Amino acid sequence: MKEKKSRGLAKGLTNYGDPAFSLYLRRSFAKSMGFSSEMLERPVVGIADSRSGFNNCHRHFPELVEAVKRGVLAAGGLPLEFPTVSLGEVFLSPTSMMFRNLMSVDVEEMIRAQPMDAVVLVGGCDKTVPAQLMGAVSADLPAVQLLGGPMMPTSFHGERLGACTDCRRFWALHRAGKVDAAGIDEVEGNLATTAGTCAVMGTASTMASIAEALGMALPGSAAIPAVHADRLRAAEASGKRAVELARSPLRPTQIITEKSVENALRVLLAIGGSTNGIVHLTAIAGRAGVEVSLKKLNDLSDSTPVLVDLKPTGQHYMSDLYAAGGIGAVMRELKPLLHLDAMTVTGRTLGELLEAEPGWVDRAVVKSFKDPLSRQGGLVALFGSLAPNGAILKRSAADPRLFEKEGRAVVFSSLDDLAARIDEPGLEVTAEDFLVLRNAGPKSGYAMPEAGYLPIPAKLARAGVKDMVRISDARMSGTAYGTIVLHVSPEAAIGGPLALVRSGDRIRISVKERRIELLVSEDEMRKRKAAWRPPVAPPVRGYAKLYMEHVLQAEQGCDFDFLRKASAYLGGKS
């Protein structure tokens, strides 16, 4: 049998030393699944399916994947779904962040190793979309990102609740003694009640918005609720588009460029998106060889208004954003700031897409460019002696009264230390102090968990304190809020200045000046550095060893050094 042109099932044959035999064997085994010869001639669309019993956010994926398949079949393709790692945010230990790069490798390698002409990436929960986009960019096969869509909020005792800003709000009330054990039990069953991703502008919603802003997801698809029929129609359309891409390739590296990354940064700022968004976007862009600098973030932040009024910083939920016009409505307002010639997965430029009729826009949810919620973006990077390589503050979720402030450090040396002492009645702390957590960064052994939202010490919470300056090398859930300085780099576990802070030291932050300074003399810092020892022994085997040896700092997206853009996948012949 003559080998077919290298597409569809004839791509990337298993090597038996006889290509014709390989193809014959592959087709024979494919026929065991009941496919006709005619079906096996079609372009193949892989569907990267990240459903899992450990991922509540993806529980509707079987229905979604069926809709993708319907779209692929209708357009003349052969849909073949394949499972990948799934990352259910609250089911992973020490944190899902440790496994984002693992999932990206899985996605990349399965796209490359299996015979497909295009791929639909089906993801939703926080780390799954960045992992899929990172893998797809590295594989550089035509790809469409299909988002799982957000959960619906639930009516409860006369108010709407949605994961997970309200989860945190009720937990804070419980800690402050205002909601009893029975009350918190009842709330627990009413926070996350449908399929889909967290209902607010948390990390999953931020990454969905970024996927659309980058041009990798179909226009209008980011905010469609998981349970809305439009979500299934978006799935069908994604399948159809993937077949078109299989016939006329447009690769992720033609879509994810300096221009589209800058557009995505603008959207991240305008939606008041999650601090995690900057880490993930940096990692995705890095796979395409595009650098994201925190100084650039500050420049963009100064000139990008916040337009979207969603929790955790505002009032509404993602389903409201969909009804209000979605990310398209946001981007139409941002048009003067965007690179309109950026290419999208549709084959049309962003500018062409935004020329379409805007439809009705609910100005309670999506503000106009002229009348924004805030004239400046939601995220800023701070630099200084405590964070020479930068730190992030979500100013739109913080208390402006704490923006220009000097305070006394109250230091916790690890997450275990924090858990053991934060609620001790004897803890020496006032509302004016700065809580500092160290050894919670990428190489800390905890893999940079979302622990930057340090709880207000119980005795202060009971006294009515709602916010304090909190500083760490950890991350923070996109659903959280407060005056919280995150991603301090270099991190404590590799001996950054954060490792050397002691309780009683003075720290000064200035959001206006973008500064964060540890007010300790250079001499004293040198002495402390000389006495410093790494807090954790390196892992000796397995993925943990690979992770620890290769993970980069937050400002480089916490990707692995060997996964950033390289000139070739395989080394040349020696």
How many residues are there in the chain? 574
Sign of CA dihedral 399, 403, 408, 412: positive
Question: CA torsion 332→337→342→346, rounded to 10°?
Answer: -10
The region of 175-183, 195-203, 230-238, 496-504 touching ligand FES under the rule CB under 6 A is: 195-203
Task: Considering only residues 162 through 181, tell me which ones interact with ligand FES, judged by CB under 6 A.
Answer: 163
- Write down the least CB distance from residue 88 to ligand FES, Å: 7
* Euclidean distance between CA atoms 394 and 378, whole angstroms: 6
- Write down the least CB distance from residue 102 to ligand FES, Å: 17
Nearest to 239 by CA among 45, 44, 83: 45
Exposed e or buried b per residue across 276-291, where buried means at least 16 C-beta atoms within 10 angstroms of its C-beta: bbbbbbbbbbbbbebe
**DSSP element (H, E) containing 267:** helix 258-270
- Write down the least CB distance from residue 204 to ligand FES, Å: 4
Q: Should residue 108 be labelled a site residue for ligand FES when binding is judged by CB under 6 A?
A: no
Among 204, 342, 468, 520, binds ligand FES (CB under 6 A): 204
**DSSP element (H, E) containing 546:** helix 542-550
Among 165, 194, 197, 206, binds ligand FES (CB under 6 A): 197
Task: Give the x-and-dash track for 39-68 against ligand FES (CB under 6 A).
Answer: ------------------x-----------
Looking up tokens 């931020």 gives: 206
Contacts with ligand FES by CB under 6 A: the residue count is: 10
Looking up tokens 């460019």 gives: 369
- Write down the least CB distance from residue 198 to ligand FES, Å: 3
Distances, alpha carbon 249 to alpha carbons 74, 243, 412, in Å: 19, 10, 52
Q: Should residue 152 be labelled a site residue for ligand FES when binding is judged by CB under 6 A?
A: no
User: Which residue, 394 or 438, has its beta carbon nearer to ligand FES?
Assistant: 394
- Write down the least CB distance from residue 243 to ligand FES, Å: 29
User: Which residue, 118 or 474, has its beta carbon nearer to ligand FES?
Assistant: 474
DSSP label of 164: T
User: Which residue, 187 or 520, has its beta carbon nearer to ligand FES?
Assistant: 187
- Burial-class residue 19 by CB neighbours within 10 Å (0-12, 13-18, 19+): middle
Among 10, 13, 111, 125, binds ligand FES (CB under 6 A): 125
Q: Should residue 139 be labelled a site residue for ligand FES when binding is judged by CB under 6 A?
A: no
Alpha helices by DSSP H, listed for 34-96, are 37-40, 61-74
Among 147, 198, 308, 361, binds ligand FES (CB under 6 A): 198
Amino acid found at 101: N
Nearest to 98 by CA among 500, 475, 488: 475
User: Which residue, 198 or 391, has its beta carbon nearer to ligand FES?
Assistant: 198
- Write down the least CB distance from residue 57 to ligand FES, Å: 4
User: Which residue, 90 or 386, has its beta carbon nearer to ligand FES?
Assistant: 90
User: Which residue, 132 or 413, has its beta carbon nearer to ligand FES?
Assistant: 132
User: Which residue, 204 or 486, has its beta carbon nearer to ligand FES?
Assistant: 204
- Write down the least CB distance from residue 474 to ligand FES, Å: 17
Instruction: Provide the token pair at 508.
Output: 């000064």
User: Which residue, 43 or 162, has its beta carbon nearer to ligand FES?
Assistant: 162
Q: Should residue 89 be labelled a site residue for ligand FES when binding is judged by CB under 6 A?
A: yes
Across the beta sheet with 143-147, the strand order is 78-83, 44-49, 118-123, 143-147
CB 558 within 8 Å of CB 448: yes
- Write down the least CB distance from residue 206 to ligand FES, Å: 10
Instruction: Provide the token pair at 179.
Output: 């909601």
- Write down the least CB distance from residue 60 to ligand FES, Å: 12
Strand partners, 118: 45
* Euclidean distance between CA atoms 357 and 337, whole angstroms: 19
User: Which residue, 203 or 439, has its beta carbon nearer to ligand FES?
Assistant: 203
Supply φ then ψ for residue 37, to 5 degrees: -60, -40
CB 2 within 8 Å of CB 18: no
User: Which residue, 204 or 411, has its beta carbon nearer to ligand FES?
Assistant: 204
Task: Considering only residues 358 through 377, tell me which ones interact with ligand FES, judged by CB under 6 A.
Answer: none
User: Which residue, 231 or 438, has its beta carbon nearer to ligand FES?
Assistant: 231
Instruction: Provide the token pair at 351.
Output: 């500018």
- Write down the least CB distance from residue 124 to ligand FES, Å: 7
User: Which residue, 90 or 210, has its beta carbon nearer to ligand FES?
Assistant: 90
**What residues contact residue 328 under an 8 Å CB cut-off, 6+ apart?**
219, 220, 353, 354, 356, 358
- Write down the least CB distance from residue 144 to ligand FES, Å: 20
Nearest to 488 by CA among 530, 434, 429, 442: 442
User: Which residue, 71 or 123, has its beta carbon nearer to ligand FES?
Assistant: 123
CB 349 within 8 Å of CB 476: no
CB 269 within 8 Å of CB 379: yes
Q: Should residue 90 be labelled a site residue for ligand FES when binding is judged by CB under 6 A?
A: yes
Task: Give the x-and-dash track for 397-436 against ligand FES (CB under 6 A).
Answer: ----------------------------------------
User: Which residue, 96 or 257, has its beta carbon nearer to ligand FES?
Assistant: 96
- Write down the least CB distance from residue 266 to ligand FES, Å: 23
- Write down the least CB distance from residue 225 to ligand FES, Å: 13
Looking up tokens 């990206």 gives: 104
- Write down the least CB distance from residue 126 to ligand FES, Å: 5
**What residues contact residue 154 under an 8 Å CB cut-off, 6+ apart?**
160, 161, 162, 190, 191, 193, 194
Contacts with ligand FES by CB under 6 A lie at 57, 89-90, 125-126, 163, 197-198, 202, 204
